[in-house]
């Protein structure tokens, strides 16, 4: 069986390794038959998958275009140069580095460029919406550096800029990180720039979650304010699973040296080519409409879930994701994830700010609309899905979950992920 979505000859794989070929097919079936609400996932285009499945994977190319440590890089140089120029143009950035393998490794490079072990920096607390690489004790960022965490105000649940300013004045951090993985509201980049300037700190925005919305001009950009912006390329941005860094010209050499050779060796040229393809796709009017639709859908889904008794943290969302507090319906995040999963709806449990439950249980769930919007779903479908989620998470009856699963199949048949040619 041939399937172009794998970006290479599927028959060949099937003949060589039917076990792994089956995994690829099973995953495609899983995507096609369920509702994917993981806020950090999306469906890349067949063009991106084709670049990923290409012979560029074979090439060692340590260094940068025109300055490599291997011969034979003249072809892959073209892909990386095109990608860099596309990134600079799309985001209005002075400099772009497309080599980080992931968001976490992009962040290691940012630490490597600006901090020494033991240095103090400010970042959003993980239980308030931050990220593991922003100072969690189990991460290099918490083990080797000295993180001081700010959070959200208990009242409006939005970033507490007064606390951030006070902590910056008290601790004089070398760097302030903005961004995280469960922040439904826009971040005030201007305010953070002013605080960073006041204390002489580098401003680092980890834009992994929302950079696709910036690319689609649906929300304001951190690029004019930040010294450095790191991100993953596979969320709303809809590229391959990977990372990228943008920065001001004055930091370009430092960032490049921190990515290679400090943090990693040979770049993955097939992934860099796939990132270049995604950046081209992001520069189209269709993508700009997509980015706006992602937010409209997230707001519609959030309103529908609120009507089901699931309280949106901060009262709503300005972005692609929402965080829902389930205490009002007396269901844990863990149970909600399980019950939704049993009903064909994939979402994740998530701590809410000031969560009384441990991280393995949680009082909340996080939902996002990048994947559904790629499938072409809109506001009417968000209302339907909100109602399905409400029914699924409030019931522990397998028959109810089976009934919802059948409805999910009907809906996804109308809006298939990766439609068959």
Q: Which residues bind ligand DSN (CB under 6 A)?
A: 40, 103, 131, 181
CB of 130 to ligand DSN, least distance (A): 10
CA distance 315 to 326: 13
Among candidate residues 32, 41, 60, 94, the one labeled active-site is: 60
Of 64 and 210, nearer to ligand DSN (C-beta) is 210
Among candidate residues 241, 254, 257, 280, the one labeled active-site is: 241
Of 40 and 50, nearer to ligand DSN (C-beta) is 40
Among candidate residues 32, 41, 62, 161, the one labeled active-site is: 62
CB of 354 to ligand DSN, least distance (A): 20
Structure tokens at 321: 């994701």
Q: Are 305 and 324 in contact (CB under 8 A)?
A: yes
- For the question of residue 232 being annotated catalytic, the response is yes
CB of 149 to ligand DSN, least distance (A): 17
Of 338 and 384, nearer to ligand DSN (C-beta) is 338
How many CB atoms are closer than 10 A to CB 265? Answer: 9
- Listed in sequence order, the residues at least 6 apart from 419 whose beta carbon sits closer than 8 Å to its beta carbon are none
Among candidate residues 206, 227, 337, 355, the one labeled active-site is: 206
How many CB atoms are closer than 10 A to CB 224? Answer: 13
CB of 131 to ligand DSN, least distance (A): 6
Among candidate residues 44, 50, 133, 232, the one labeled active-site is: 232
- Listed in sequence order, the residues at least 6 apart from 332 whose beta carbon sits closer than 8 Å to its beta carbon are 326, 349, 357, 361, 362, 363
CA distances from 355 to 112, 160, 313, 352 (A): 33, 17, 11, 5
- For the question of residue 286 being annotated catalytic, the response is no
Rounded (10°) CA dihedral 8, 12, 14, 18: -110
Q: Are 158 and 185 in contact (CB under 8 A)?
A: yes
- For the question of residue 62 being annotated catalytic, the response is yes
Cis-peptide, bond into residue 261, ω within 30° of zero: yes
**Listed residue (273, 246, 279, 287) closest to 370, CA to CA:** 287
Of 56 and 324, nearer to ligand DSN (C-beta) is 324
**Listed residue (320, 312, 305) closest to 394, CA to CA:** 305
CB of 40 to ligand DSN, least distance (A): 3
Of 125 and 195, nearer to ligand DSN (C-beta) is 125
Among candidate residues 59, 185, 235, 339, the one labeled active-site is: 235
Q: Are 205 and 189 in contact (CB under 8 A)?
A: yes
Of 50 and 233, nearer to ligand DSN (C-beta) is 233
CA distance 180 to 1: 41
CB of 32 to ligand DSN, least distance (A): 22
Of 208 and 226, nearer to ligand DSN (C-beta) is 208
- Listed in sequence order, the residues at least 6 apart from 420 whose beta carbon sits closer than 8 Å to its beta carbon are none
CB of 21 to ligand DSN, least distance (A): 28
Task: Name the DSSP class of 6.
Answer: G
Residues marked as catalytic: 60, 62, 206, 232, 235, 241
């Amino acid at each position: 069986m041939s399937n172009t979505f794998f970006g290479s000859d599927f028959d060949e794989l099937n003949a060589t390794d039917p076990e792994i070929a089956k995994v690829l097919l099973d995953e495609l079936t899983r995507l096609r038959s369920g509702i994917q609400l993981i806020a950090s996932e999306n469906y890349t285009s067949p063009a991106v998958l084709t670049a990923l499945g290409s012979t560029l994977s074979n090439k060692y190319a340590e260094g940068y275009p025109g300055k490599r440590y291997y011969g034979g890089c003249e072809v892959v140089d073209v892909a990386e140069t095109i990608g860099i120029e596309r990134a600079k143009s799309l985001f209005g950035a002075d400099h772009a580095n497309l080599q980080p393998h992931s968001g976490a490794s992009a962040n290691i490079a940012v630490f490597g460029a600006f901090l020494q072990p033991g240095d103090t920096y400010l970042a959003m607390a993980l239980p308030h919406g931050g990220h593991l690489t922003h100072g969690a004790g189990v991460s290099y960022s918490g083990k080797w550096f000295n993180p001081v965490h700010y959070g959200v105000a208990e009242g409006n649940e939005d970033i507490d800029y007064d606390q951030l300013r006070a902590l910056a004045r008290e601790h004089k951090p070398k760097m302030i990180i903005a961004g995280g993985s469960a922040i439904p509201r826009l971040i005030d980049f201007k305010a953070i720039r002013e605080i960073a300037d006041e204390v002489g700190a580098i401003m680092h925005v980890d834009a992994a979650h929302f950079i696709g919305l910036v690319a689609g001009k649906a929300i304001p950009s951190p690029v004019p304010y930040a010294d450095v912006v790191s991100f993953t390329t596979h969320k709303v941005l809809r590229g391959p699973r990977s990372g990228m860094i943008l920065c001001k010209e004055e930091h370009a050499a430092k960032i490049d040296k921190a990515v290679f050779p400090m943090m990693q060796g040979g770049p993955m040229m097939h992934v860099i080519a796939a990132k270049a393809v995604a950046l081209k796709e992001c520069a189209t009017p269709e993508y700009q409409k997509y980015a706006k639709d992602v937010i409209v859908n997230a707001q519609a889904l959030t309103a529908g879930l609120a009507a089901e008794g699931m309280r949106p943290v901060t009262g709503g969302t300005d972005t692609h994701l929402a965080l829902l507090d389930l205490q009002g319906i007396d269901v844990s995040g863990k149970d909600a994830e399980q019950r939704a999963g049993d009903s064909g709806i994939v979402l994740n449990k998530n701590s809410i700010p000031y969560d009384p439950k441990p991280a393995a249980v949680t009082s909340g769930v996080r939902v996002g609309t990048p994947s559904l919007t790629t499938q072409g779903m809109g506001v009417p479908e968000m209302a339907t899905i909100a109602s399905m989620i409400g029914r699924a998470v409030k019931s522990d009856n397998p028959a109810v979950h089976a009934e919802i699963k059948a409805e999910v199949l009907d809906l996804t048949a109308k809006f298939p992920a990766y439609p068959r040619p």
